């Protein structure tokens, strides 16, 4: 896959909902391969903590591979935090990481997930 493919994934997902704050494609070593951030948005993490977050995602991705044989491959992970909600999707050894406004109703989160799955599966 190319940088253009990663950018297309980010832009397609970002257009799903106005509540999506950030979409990024994260590489195997935690590097940000492409992203789309909602305009005029103040990030919740500074550059250093963003890199820690992406490294954490890469480490988790590597560890999750141990369970694939027994549990099946990971499709997505949804986290609710005090300030934001995140969803991450697997594309082989890569992750698509999405942050969403906290005060979004769950049915909108489920709609976002359902809309993301075909985009992600197309590239898996």
For residue range 72-118, list pLDDT tens digits in order.
888 888 989 899 999 999 888 888 999 999 999 999 999 999 999 99
Q: Over the stretch 22-73, which tens digit does the pLDDT of each residue have?
A: 999 998 888 889 999 988 877 776 667 677 677 766 767 666 766 777 888 8
* Single pTM value for the model: 0.85
Number of folded domains in the chain?
1
Q: Smallest Cα–Cα separation from 22: which of 59, 65, 53?
A: 53
Centre a 10 Å sphere on the Cβ of residue 94 and count the other Cβ atoms it contains: 22
Buried b (16+ CB within 10 A) or exposed e, 10-25: bebbbebbebbbbbbb
Query: Looking at residue 29, which CATH number applies to its domain?
Result: 3.30.450.30
Residue with tokens 């694939």: 68
């Amino acid at each position: 896959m190319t940088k253009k493919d990663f950018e297309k994934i980010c832009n397609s997902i970002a257009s799903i909902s106005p509540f999506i704050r950030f979409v990024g494609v994260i590489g195997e070593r935690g590097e940000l391969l492409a992203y789309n951030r909602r305009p005029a948005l103040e990030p919740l993490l500074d550059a250093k903590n963003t890199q820690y977050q992406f490294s954490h995602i890469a480490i988790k991705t590597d560890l999750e591979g141990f369970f694939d044989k027994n549990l099946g491959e990971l499709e997505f992970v949804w986290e609710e935090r005090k300030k934001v909600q995140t969803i991450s999707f697997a594309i082989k050894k890569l992750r698509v990481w999405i942050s969403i406004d906290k005060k979004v109703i769950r049915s909108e989160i489920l709609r976002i997930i359902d809309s993301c799955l075909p985009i992600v599966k197309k590239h898996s």
